[in-house]
Amino acid sequence: MNLPYKRLIATLALALSPVLTALAAATPDSVRIGIVSFTQGGKPVFGGIPGRVIEEGWLEQELEKRGVALEWQALPHANAGPQINEGFSNNGMDFAVRGDLPSVIALAGGVPGKLVVPGGSGNNIYLVVPKDSPAHSIEDLKGKRLALHRGRPWEFPFSEFLASKGLALKDFKIANINPQVGAAAVSAGKVDAAVLLSEAYLLEDKHVGRVLWSSKQGDADWRLVSDLWGTERFVDSQPQLTQLVATAWVKASQWLADPRNADEYYRFSSLAGTPQSVLRRDDQGDPVPWAQRWAPKTDAQLLKHFAALSQYALNNQLISTQPDLSQSLATRFTHQAIRDLGLVDLWPDLKAQVESTR
């Protein structure tokens, strides 16, 4: 065989290698998705996009047609990040919804993963003080005790808010505790303030806390953001099953983006124990339009956001080296889902990118 033909065969083998690997990979018995959940009546309950995926049942049905089971792995709020990292590292999990800062920390720590479906605009965060606190601004809390769970998705947006006021975490006495414990600490007057999620309204309803600030008053990027990640092993070896998962996520996002489905969304999300009144107040006054709230981010938005996030994590010694997110983007599955579902015009910011990646 002469040299040109040898080169041609070598080139074809290299190009076809990923395809052959995928074809050779055995179909798994199940697809395992890790989700942070609440427990109600001894059973895990999921809200948001995962909750809709479960309610609709489309993903489970499509996987059953292929002889594959759908397995939801309920993760506790307190240590979901370490469990996801362990699951991704030891082949105990295929996908997980993970916050942006924990994802940066995981990638920097050598935990491989692919971002399959970007999250929407994210959830609001709140700064809550005891009801009778004399504080009326963040400046009033300088040097005070502040409850903040470090390394979680709400740390970066809260730090951005502080920076806008010329402050930093070092200006406070930080108690590194999760929001549930932080809420109890505010109620008992053990801390002067706490960074919380929608449970902030529960404290107001109980007349033990007062919202001093929320991300509704800040930049659109000052929010808790989570994305759907897959393991490199699964995404590379099971592209068809990965596409099904991505399509189910986008279908759920489309359904949630319709304001006519808001009541049903609040119904199944409240099954976790948070009253509908609290969920609705969490959305009231939100400057992000309802449909846009569920829109996946573009690659450009992701790269910009994660670059700033990585720099923050490095500056605050949460990581020692900055990961390159561009090597972890697998958003082609999201774009294909949008095309397959005929949603190119639903989210204008994504249209150009989706059409250019055909």
Q: Tokens for 276, please give them.
A: 């509908």
pLDDT at position 24: 45
The yes-or-no verdict on residue 4 having pLDDT over 80 is no
Between residues 186 and 19, which one has the greater pLDDT?
Answer: 186
pLDDT at position 39: 73
Q: Tokens for 38, please give them.
A: 């609440």
Q: How far apart are CA 340 and CA 333, in angstroms?
A: 10
Between residues 306 and 219, which one has the greater pLDDT?
Answer: 306
Q: How far apart are CA 120 and CA 228, in angstroms?
A: 11
Q: In one letter, which amino acid is 144? A: K
| Mean pLDDT of the 158-164 span | 95
Condensed to tens digits (0 to 9), the pLDDT of residues 75-128 reads 887 778 889 999 999 999 999 999 999 999 999 999 989 999 999 888 899 999
Cα 285 to its chain centre, rounded Å, is 22
pLDDT at position 12: 46
pTM of the model: 0.88
CATH fold of 16-122+225-356 reads D-Maltodextrin-Binding Protein; domain 2 (3.40.190)
Domain boundaries, the chain: 16-122+225-356, 126-217
The yes-or-no answer to whether 16-122+225-356 and 126-217 have a common fold is yes
Q: Tokens for 33, please give them.
A: 């998705």
pLDDT tier, 332 (very low <50, low <70, confident <90, very high otherwise): very high
The yes-or-no verdict on residue 14 having pLDDT over 80 is no
| Mean pLDDT of the 340-347 span | 93
* Pick from 91, 54, 85, 20: nearest CA to 248: 54
Look at strands 126-130 and 193-196 and give their pairing.
antiparallel
Q: In one letter, which amino acid is 26? A: A
The yes-or-no verdict on residue 44 having pLDDT over 60 is yes
pLDDT at position 6: 41
CATH match of 126-217 with 3.40.190.10: yes
Condensed to tens digits (0 to 9), the pLDDT of residues 277-325 reads 999 999 998 888 899 899 999 999 999 999 999 999 999 999 999 999 9
Those residues whose C-beta lies under 8 Å from the C-beta of residue 114, and which sit 6 or more positions away, are 229, 230, 231, 232, 235, 328, 329, 330
